Chain A
Amino acid sequence: MELQTLTFIVVGITFAVYIGIAFWARAGSTSEFYIAGGGIHPIANGMATAADWMSAASFISMAGLIAFFGYGGSVFLMGWTGGYVLLAMLLAPYLRKYGKFTVPEFIGDRYYSNTARIVAVVCLIVASVTYVIGQMKGIGVAFSRFLETSYEMGLAVGMGIVFIYAVVGGMKGITYTQIAQYCVLIFAYTIPAIFISLNLTGNPIPQLGLGSMMTGTETYLLDRLDQVVTELGFAEYTTSARLSTLNTFVYTLSLMIGTAGLPHVIIRFFTVTKVSDARVSAGWALIFITILYTTAPAVAAMARLNLHETIQPASGQNLAYDERPNWFKNWEKTGLLKFEDKNGDGRIQYTADKATNEMVKVDRDIMVLANPEIAKLPNWVIALVAAGGLAAALSTAAGLLLAIASSISHDLLKGVFRPDITEKQELLASRIAMAGAIALAGYLGFNPPDFAAGTVALAFGLAASSIFPALMMGIFSKRINREGAIAGMIAGISVTLLYVFQHKGIMFVADTAFLGDMKANWFMGIEPNAFGAVGAAVNFTVAYAVSSMTPEPPDHIQHLVEDIRVPGGAGSATAH
């Protein structure tokens, strides 16, 4: 069957499943809309969290980042998984015990202040909206590459699907579709990886294949890769560091606390029945994430090796351009690969030297997207990769949109401006907020703002420097008060934003960067993307200092903190 038709069929089936689930899991109350009724099994929630967390970037771009950075790409692997340890120990169980619907709601109650709640809502919305733009772009790009529709058409279809299951189903619909989406994306990711690993090493498990010898030789795969890339003048794969050790350290820390502080991940843990379930569920989430995240480095190394060995099967024997394989031609059409015959010999030279390198463009996304074709896998696998990329983008977009919608309808409307509305009115408001959030995300997807490229850094930076410290101190300290928390959040965001903007431009408009984005200007050599941890440190310090100069929190707040620290027991003061 024609690849195009097959892809339409596979993607069509998955979309039909998502919509079917939406109508089966309609939300009938605010509790179902915000937290899926609170009765999700910890393993099911773990799976949904994994899909919620793994975005278009994890699925499509991460292996490519690792493929070209080598060891330097480890920042993303450790940074985007280690945060779950923090989440499981420092936040999730206590916030589940508190038993409310949103993250700003906890901040507002714990710091007995609507101002704190509104600051948290603003941080949440900015972080989530910037993050959702990337998902919208991912949906459009996946459609245009695999189904050869226009970017806009793909985006519109994706928005329509999310609209149906998020507006109708709320968190309940999103939870069950995320479970289905996890299954789709993990099959789509691991099947090509298994085949590539079998081809190269004879070991079907990619995690083991990466540490194995190449089939029919006595050479380990990673040693071979190191040798191939260094001969071409690239940095040695297994040791190539990005920037300084300090930067790697701080960047990893920023991604970890950013992960733990992202509201769309945190609210997933409000959907389980018990505090003990929240702890276990974080473990399951990380297992499901780790299946993909430990496969990614294998995909990265193997795809990089395949690419080099296709272009240069042996030293000095470069591939003739006319004999290039089909996948090469296919991806040239999309502009992700570009060849320029600089020395006019009709053969492809791919080297680290910019003057002689003829592969003038090798988009890193190709490492996942072209993987099945490079490994000569059947068409249905390619179709599955398309469905997997879409599942990853849709599931993350839905989770983010729910976080945005609930903070508007529950925190701003019900919490601050119109506390007297009925539950029915609030449910309607939450649906309208969801529709509005989708429209906004779609608009930003159609007209990506200049700052779209820097958005992930901004989302992690904000979550790390504002939300994570406010939540953690709210649980672990009885002394941090309203004044301290608000001052801390504002200081944390300000420092982070200022640092990002001074190097990347105000709202990422390039000309407005008052300090150029160059290493010499970086504070202790820390790149702007890695600055969230520094912002968090500022937040902790300011909050502590201001709190110690102002009156301690009232008694009932101190009781509240004592109460959320224990899973059960009498004296619960937090009935909803």
Chain B
Amino acid sequence: MSSEENRKAYWKANVRLMVTLLTVWFIISYLCGIVFVEELNNIRLGGYKLGFWFAQQGSMYGFVAIIFIYARRMAALDRKFDLHEK
């Protein structure tokens, strides 16, 4: 694979990972916390209504997880395509 193709493949993999994670980002905040909050509120998580929990707790834990997953996966991609910092 030429260096240019390699970079293109790396960028494509990066964008694919990003789209997946941004979908999760969208679901846990905009869908679970805003759009479907009333429906989810019929389910309980201990003393929390589930929609309320997503809006005031869960979405934020999810955001943290998303960033660390991204950082780990990207570190692996950097190495796989030999584009990491030396």
Chain B residues 30 to 46 lying within 8 A of chain A, measured CB to CB, are 30, 33-35, 37-38, 41, 45-46
Secondary structure class of chain B's binding surface, majority of residues:
helix
Task: Decide if A290 is an interface residue (CB 8 Å cutoff).
Answer: yes
Chain B interfacial residues counted at CB < 8 A: 45
Q: A502 to B3, alpha carbons, bound, how many Å?
A: 53
For A297, what are the chain B residues with a Cβ–Cβ distance below 8 Å? 56-57
Q: A275 to B70, alpha carbons, bound, how many Å?
A: 13
Query: Chain A interface: which size bin?
Result: 35 or more
Q: A275 to B77, alpha carbons, bound, how many Å?
A: 13
Chain A residues 203 to 261 lying within 8 A of chain B, measured CB to CB, are 207, 210-213, 220-223, 238-239, 245, 248-249, 252-253
Q: A276 to B86, alpha carbons, bound, how many Å?
A: 11
- Give the nearest-CB partner of A74 in chain B: B55
For A73, what are the chain B residues with a Cβ–Cβ distance below 8 Å? 56
Q: A78-B33, A220-B46, A276-B84 known; A88 and B71 CB under 8 Å?
A: yes
Which of A10-18, A316-324, A340-348, A559-567 forms contacts with chain B? A559-567
Q: A283-B67, A568-B83 known; A290 and B35 CB under 8 Å?
A: no
**B60–A293 touching, CB < 8 Å:** yes
For A566, what are the chain B residues with a Cβ–Cβ distance below 8 Å? 7, 10-11, 83
Which of A79-87, A325-333, A543-551 forms contacts with chain B? A79-87
Count of inter-chain pairs, beta carbons less than 8 A = 143
For B55, what are the chain A residues with a Cβ–Cβ distance below 8 Å? 71, 74, 77-78
Q: A74-B33, A283-B68 known; A222 and B63 CB under 8 Å?
A: no
Q: A209 to B29, alpha carbons, bound, how many Å?
A: 22
Q: A286-B67, A569-B7 known; A238 and B52 CB under 8 Å?
A: yes
Secondary structure class of chain A's binding surface, majority of residues:
helix
Could you mark each residue 1-44 of chain B with 1 if its beta carbon is under 8 Å from any beta carbon of chain A, else 0?
00100010011001000100110010001100111011001000
Chain A residues 413 to 472 lying within 8 A of chain B, measured CB to CB, are none
Instruction: Report which B residues bind A (CB closer than 8 A).
Output: 3, 7, 10-11, 14, 18, 21-22, 25, 29-30, 33-35, 37-38, 41, 45-49, 52-53, 55-57, 59-61, 63-64, 66-68, 70-71, 74-75, 78, 82-86
Which 9 residue pairs spanning A and B have beta carbons closest together?
A: A220-B47, A74-B55, A283-B67, A279-B71, A211-B46, A297-B56, A211-B47, A568-B85, A211-B48
Instruction: Report which A residues bind B (CB closer than 8 A).
Output: 66, 71, 73-74, 77-78, 81-82, 84-85, 88-90, 93, 207, 210-213, 220-223, 238-239, 245, 248-249, 252-253, 274-276, 279-280, 282-283, 286-287, 290, 293-294, 297, 562, 565-571
